[in-house]
């Protein structure tokens, strides 16, 4: 009995040392981690398999881009419209309203996704082989990609919701907010009296650094597919954009796991439109292609921006074989993102009369404004160098130098912090404010500078009209 007790004591001591060492290691990993391009992380799961993500570090407005190392599934970009079989009804290349975007950003359980634009990717509308056959994976009744079967609440908090640029097609160019009104891929129009003998398309990814210009607008996303500028960064840093399908994912064309003689690398969706109907896809090691949104069930290789300030590293060394096991610190209240960062508050946002009230200083300083407060009369002044905004405690009127607005809820003190309705942020500095209801998140996007240099247009195209010597 005595020997047994001594053995138990030694075992408890040994386990305590292991737990202590593990705890110290986790803290050190979180404090000292150096994230570079090619660092691997594990976060969430899909089809009960852990998802491996690869970091892409480059200069952009939203931070570290995380790209799934594998193709996780095969889906249509957008379902067909009636009647079946006509090319002009082959789905939409408008990323904002695509069913793929809705699915990627939904937290809904099985059968509960809100297909808010009236299109459902069900078996009648998910087609393949130029719409001649039903698709293999209608997903109208599936769970959302961000459902709790794939990501825990804490894991979700390691993922940002951001605003970024989205290229527009010919039929959506009127939405442009960047000062350009020619779409990224303009429709090809034959000049009067000429014969368009040859069209030469450059599909090399190496050309994309010169090509990603044209009509764009701002859009918020949590999970997204890559656009061509992000695909170029992937290629320029790793020399390839190829991706294999994840383990256990069936090939949509052969219906088996590993077709004999078939390349392990698969096409996957991008979110850059081509003309009125086309959508671009990553097609090979260093090239891309164009298809329509519903002809094929192609690979889905999701991406997101890492919320570095809210992440926890549990273990790992960041290699493909031993990735960092990633988690988040959680989200207790409404999370607010601005300029690619989650805004930190010492006074959390509150709700009053169905209005979200936010700490004014933290928000305005994140927007680059200097904020002052006069204790005597309760006047708050915010100046961003171009505009001065003035408001007062318990007074619903707010001025921004050009207009006076009446807010739904007057600024008020909570503790020693001034809170204002979220609308005040929009009205004060002309910001776009989006509320992501499913995630209880707000994205604030300040006005972006315009790009009116027409020399940037469409360098990726090399279109020659023979006999005329014209290019555009």
**Co-location of 421 and 375 in the same domain:** yes
How much is the pLDDT for 133? 66
Q: Classify residue 18 as exposed, middle or buried by CB count within 10 Å of its CB (0-12, 13-18, 19+).
A: exposed
The verdict on residue 195 lying in a domain is yes
What value does the mean pLDDT take over residues 29-49?
A: 87
Spatial contact of 68 and 241, defined as CB atoms under 8 Å apart: no
Residue 81, pLDDT score: 73
Cα distances (angstroms) measured from residue 323 to each of 31, 247, 272, 282 = 16, 17, 30, 25
Phi/psi for 88 (5° steps) reads -70, -5
Shared domain for 259 and 388, answered yes or no, is no
Q: Rounded to an integer, what distance in angstroms lies between the CA atom of residue 105 and that of residue 304?
A: 11
Domain assignment present for 22: no
How much is the pTM? Answer: 0.85
Q: pLDDT digits over 358-417, tens only?
A: 888 988 998 889 999 998 899 999 998 889 999 999 999 999 888 898 988 899 998 888
My answer on whether 66 and 132 are in the same domain is: yes
101 lies in a domain?
Answer: yes
Same domain, 171 and 221: yes
- When pLDDT is averaged across residues 241-267 and rounded to a whole number, the result is 74
Whole-number pLDDT of residue 196: 39
3-state SS assignment for residue 114:
coil
Residues 165 and 268 in one domain: yes
Q: Are 267 and 414 part of one and the same domain?
A: no
- Same domain? 219 vs 121: yes
Q: Flag whether 435 is in a domain.
A: yes
List, for residues 305-362, the tens digit of each pLDDT value: 999 999 999 999 999 999 999 999 999 889 999 999 999 988 888 888 788 898 889 8
Contact residues for 143 (Cβ-Cβ < 8 A; gap 6+)? 106, 108, 109, 110, 112, 113, 149, 150
| Domain termination site, one of 306, 326, 351 | 306
Q: How many residues are there in the chain?
A: 472
Residues 349, 96, 131, 145: what is their CA dihedral angle, to the nearest 10 degrees?
-20
Alpha helices in 118-224 (DSSP H): 153-156
285 with 235, same domain: the answer is yes
Residue 472: its pLDDT value, please?
Answer: 26
Check whether residue 122 and residue 245 sit in a common domain.
Answer: yes
* Residue 16 covered by a domain: no
**Coil, strand or helix: which one is 89?**
helix
User: Residue 249 is part of which domain span?
Assistant: 39-306
Q: Is there a single domain that holds both residue 275 and residue 355?
A: no
pLDDT in tens, 121-165: 988 888 765 555 676 788 999 999 999 999 999 999 999 999 999
Mean pLDDT of 223-252: 90
CATH number of the domain that residue 375 is part of: 3.30.457.10
Q: Which residues are CB-neighbours of 225 under 8 A, at least 6 positions away?
A: 100, 104, 268, 269, 270, 271, 300, 301, 302, 303
Does residue 200 have a pLDDT over 50? no
Q: Are residues 290 and 376 in the same domain?
A: no
Q: Exposed (0-12), middle (13-18) or buried (19+): which is 223, by Cβ within 10 Å?
A: buried
Q: How many domains does the chain have?
A: 2
Q: Do 241 and 111 fall into the same domain?
A: yes
Highest mean pLDDT among 17-31, 35-49, 254-268, 443-457: 35-49
């Amino acid at each position: 009995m005595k020997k047994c007790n001594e053995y138990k004591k030694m075992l408890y001591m040994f386990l305590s040392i292991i737990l202590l060492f593990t705890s110290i290691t986790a803290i050190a990993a979180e404090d000292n981690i150096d994230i570079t391009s090619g660092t691997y992380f594990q976060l969430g799961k899909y089809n009960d398999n852990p998802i491996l993500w690869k970091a892409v570090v480059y200069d952009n407005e939203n931070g570290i881009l995380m790209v799934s190392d594998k193709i996780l599934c095969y889906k249509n970009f957008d379902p067909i419209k009636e009647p079946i079989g006509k090319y002009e009804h082959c789905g939409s290349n408008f990323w904002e309203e695509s069913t793929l975007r809705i699915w990627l950003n939904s937290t809904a359980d099985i059968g509960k996704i809100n297909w808010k634009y009236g299109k459902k990717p069900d078996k009648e509308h998910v087609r393949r082989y130029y719409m001649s056959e039903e698709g293999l994976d209608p997903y109208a009744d599936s769970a959302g990609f961000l459902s709790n079967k794939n990501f825990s609440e804490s894991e979700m908090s390691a993922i940002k919701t951001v605003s970024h640029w989205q290229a527009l097609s010919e039929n959506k160019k009127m939405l442009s907010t960047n000062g350009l009104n020619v779409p990224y891929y303009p429709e090809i129009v034959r000049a009067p009296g000429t014969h368009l003998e040859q069209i030469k398309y450059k599909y090399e990814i190496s050309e994309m650094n010169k090509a990603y210009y044209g009509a764009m607008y701002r859009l918020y996303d949590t999970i997204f597919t890559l656009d061509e500028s992000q695909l170029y960064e992937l290629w320029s840093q790793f020399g390839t954009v190829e991706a294999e399908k994840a383990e256990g994912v069936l090939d949509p064309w052969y219906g088996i796991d590993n077709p004999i003689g078939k390349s392990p690398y698969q096409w996957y969706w991008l979110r850059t439109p081509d003309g009125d109907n086309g959508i671009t896809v990553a097609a090979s090691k260093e090239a891309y292609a164009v298809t329509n949104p519903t002809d094929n069930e192609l690979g889905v290789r999701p991406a997101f921006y890492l919320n570095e300030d809210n992440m926890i590293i549990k273990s790992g060394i960041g290699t493909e074989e031993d990735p960092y096991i990633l988690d988040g610190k959680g989200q207790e209240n409404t999370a607010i993102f601005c300029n690619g960062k989650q805004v930190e508050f010492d006074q959390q946002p509150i709700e009053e009369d169905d209005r979200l009230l936010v700490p004014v200083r933290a928000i305005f300083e994140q927007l680059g404004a200097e904020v002052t407060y006069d204790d005597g009369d309760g006047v708050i002044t915010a100046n961003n160098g171009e505009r001065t905004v003035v408001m007062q405690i318990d007074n619903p009127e707010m001025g921004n130098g050009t207009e006076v607005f009446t807010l739904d809820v007057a600024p008020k003190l909570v503790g020693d912090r001034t809170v204002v309705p979220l609308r005040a942020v929009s009205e004060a500095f002309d910001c776009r404010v989006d509320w992501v209801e499913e995630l209880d998140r707000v994205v604030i996007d300040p006005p972006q500078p315009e790009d009116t240099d027409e020399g940037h247009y469409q360098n990726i195209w090399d279109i020659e009209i023979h006999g005329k010597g014209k290019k555009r």
